[in-house]
Amino acid sequence: MRFPVKSHIRVVVGAAGLAAVSLISACLRSTGPQPSLIQLAGTWSYAGVQTSPVRENLSGTLSISSESGTSFQGRVDLVGVNQANQSRVLGGLVSGSELGTDIVDFDASVETTPRRHVGQIVADTISGTWIGSAPDGTRSSGTFRVQRVTR
């Protein structure tokens, strides 16, 4: 008995087609930005205190410019004022992610090594602590609080 070629090809293409569609759809999944799950984009006012090695009050702006899923990126621009009323400008890129439903973890590259910030989100405010470690072993640490200015 002969099978019509058209019918035989249709069965083969049908089975191969399903496998090919599955393979292609897996390969074509987007690697672009995903919808944000944390909604942090916008401008935040930054206030903090460096408690070591030298006490310093920090103030400035945290700007979150992009989000994807639970990750975010942006920039921080700060002015630090020590007890002798001397000031310095700090600024750099920020990159982080949401760790849970209300915890964020981000690095602010304001000096030679990033300052790791971990904070809790409550409404439009994030409060927490940060720590940094320079290549020479000097450590810095402190607290921070950012409050949303714009979305």
Say if residue 117 is in the same domain as residue 70.
Answer: yes
Say if residue 84 is in the same domain as residue 104.
Answer: yes
Report the SS3 class of residue 43: strand
Say if residue 59 is in the same domain as residue 84.
Answer: yes
Q: Which CATH number do you get for residue 56?
A: 2.40.128.120
Measured CA to CA, the distance from residue 3 to residue 1 in angstroms comes to 7
Say if residue 54 is in the same domain as residue 12.
Answer: no
Say if residue 134 is in the same domain as residue 73.
Answer: yes
Residue 135 main-chain phi, psi, to 5 deg: -55, -30
Say if residue 10 is in the same domain as residue 68.
Answer: no
pTM (two decimals): 0.75
Provide the residue range defining the domain that includes 19: 1-31
Residue range 58-69, pLDDT digits in tens: 999 999 999 988
Say if residue 76 is in the same domain as residue 20.
Answer: no
Residue 81 main-chain phi, psi, to 5 deg: -125, 120
* Structural domains counted in the chain: 2
Residue range 12-52, pLDDT digits in tens: 444 444 444 344 444 445 556 566 567 899 999 999 999 99
Label residue 75 by pLDDT band (50, 70, 90).
very high
Distances (CA, A) of 99 to 16, 79, 94, 117, 129: 42, 28, 16, 12, 15
Say if residue 50 is in the same domain as residue 86.
Answer: yes
Say if residue 127 is in the same domain as residue 79.
Answer: yes
Say if residue 91 is in the same domain as residue 134.
Answer: yes
Q: In sequence order, what are the residues at sequence separation of 6 or more whose Cβ sits closer than 8 angstroms to the Cβ of residue 34?
A: 68, 69
Apex 83 CA angle, 145 and 119, nearest 5:
15
E strand intervals along 25-138: 42-52, 56-68, 71-82, 87-98, 103-108, 115-122, 125-133
The CA R_g of the chain, rounded to the nearest whole Å, is 25
